[in-house]
Amino acid sequence: MNVIWVSYLCTRKIIYILHLSMNKFRSFVLVLLALMGLTSVSAASEGKRPKLIVGIVVDQMRWDYLQRYQDKWQGGFQRLLSDGFSYDNTYLCYVPTVTGVGHASIFTGTTPAIHGIAGNDFRKGDDIVYCTDDHSVKTVGSNTAAGEMSPRNMLTTTIGDQLKLAVPGAKVVGVSLKDRASILPAGHSADAAYWFDNDAGCFITSSYYMDKLPKWVDRFNAEHRDLGDVKYTPKGIVITADMAIATVENEKLGQRDVTDMITVSFSSTDYVGHKYGTRSPQTEEVYVEVDRQLERLFTALDTKVGKGEYLVFLTADHAAAHNYIEMQERKIPAGIWREETELDNANAALKSKFGINSNLIKSIIEYRFYLDEKAINESSLDIDKVKSELVNYLEKDERVMAAIDFEHLCSYPLPEAIKNRIIMGYNHRRSGDVMVILQPGYYAFEAKSFEKGTTHGVWYPYDSHIPLLFYGWHVNAGHSSSNTQVIDIATTVCSMISIQQPNGSVGNVLYLH
């Protein structure tokens, strides 16, 4: 019995020692793997960069479209999901969630508070400004005013700007149907940005970039005439991919001894969504075309640049709400709030309250009220009192969750998640005075002809949850459910290619493991 007992004790001791050893070994392996993960971005890129960076935006793409149409994917999306890395919980971290803001935020790694693109439209002093308006430049490529555009309203640098600062001879080019979706991603120092002049039926640019179109663009336009209005059909997706491939081929992007960058934004998805809604056959059709054209683009890059030699990231500038009528039919609270009507009503309420004849609100732009300080002063009114009365009036509307005087946001009883989005989206020179936050399911909607369609602009997940996929150079297949933000994209890409992040960046580096 003593021998058996001793043997038993010895056996337990050995098992215990082995257990400790295994735990230590497992801990060592976990630490090693963690360190490998933490350094995967920097180590992979140390002393080397991809030949080409491809930043792709699919305008108005909801994250759940990746699942909704998964049985339709046979091309580019299938490649991205099978061989790329997906972050499944990526959100916009600001309001308003609109195209100009989204494209600027993706490529600068920051938000309107810093990059200054406070909306598609905003006020600068007494003027309403479109985000890429620049009347000091001229259209190049047509006889319309569609080219009087530049990135000068954007206050910070982009990935492309930083690339050109770090890599002598690097080329950066933006391509999209929309001017703002081409100009803002490409940045201030881009070699070119091309967008589609729908009236002229061709791609154009601005004298900000060049005095005349390259001969290859003239040839491209001559070969793609008489397409009609491409915006609301899959043809808009095809011609965007055609232009992107032609740009890579003719500018020799990724085919030289330096790292280049092309930004590509597919805009027809947004036009179709606005007109037909999130669940329409037209929306399915246009996304299937995106899948096809992404594969065409990747195949061309495989040939021209080399498979594994280019780095792709794909995301969206915003998502979209389901149509409010469809939601009502499903007994889900939803509705609309018309800015033109509410501007008239709010001005009438303030006139009645203060016993005056002047309008005290200049405009409502993307849920933001811009007060007329001159009219307020001439009426001998205190602006804080006017804002307080406006807030009180707006919050009587059951469609309104909250109305916020920007200057008193911190004291307003709102969840921090909403406050942070308002703060990140607020530029004190451009964002107005009071913002309205509608109830879930409600949104501003003006175009009666688009009653079957949808829109976007608010902080709720249906507008802010977007896809984020990386593919290609030093990217392993996988996915993560970690919460990430749109501003993390630029920081991550710059870290991967070992260049300084954009000068206003506030994002974090994402690890592709």
CB atoms near residue 155 (< 10 Å): 20
Q: Is 331 left (phi over 0), alpha (psi -120 to 50) or beta?
A: left
Task: Report phi then psi at 15, rounded to 5.
Answer: -60, -40
- Which among 99, 156, 157, 454 is annotated as catalytic? 99
Residue with tokens 């491939």: 245
Three-state DSSP class for residue 461: helix
| Dist CA 378 CA 85 (whole Å) | 58
Active site residue 99: yes
Beta bridge partners of 442: 335
The letter for the amino acid at 383 is: I
DSSP string, 132-181: TB-TTS-EESSSSSTT-B-STT--S--HHHHHHHHSTT--EEEEESSHHH
The letter for the amino acid at 503 is: N
Cβ-in-10-Å burial (0-12, 13-18, 19+) of 19 comes to: exposed
| Dist CA 321 CA 327 (whole Å) | 10
User: How many alpha carbons lie under 13 Å from residue 300 in its C-beta half-sphere?
Assistant: 21
DSSP letter for 282, please: H
What sign has the CA pseudo-torsion 74, 76, 77, 82? positive
Task: Report phi then psi at 381, rounded to 5.
Answer: -110, 155
Kind plus residue range of the DSSP H or E element containing 286: helix 281-301
| Dist CA 19 CA 274 (whole Å) | 61
| Dist CA 290 CA 19 (whole Å) | 53
Query: Are residues 509 and 44 in contact, defined by beta-carbon separation less than 8 angstroms?
Result: no
Listed in sequence order, the residues at least 6 apart from 479 whose beta carbon sits closer than 8 Å to its beta carbon are 85, 86, 87, 88
DSSP letter for 499, please: -
By annotation, the residues acting in catalysis are: 99
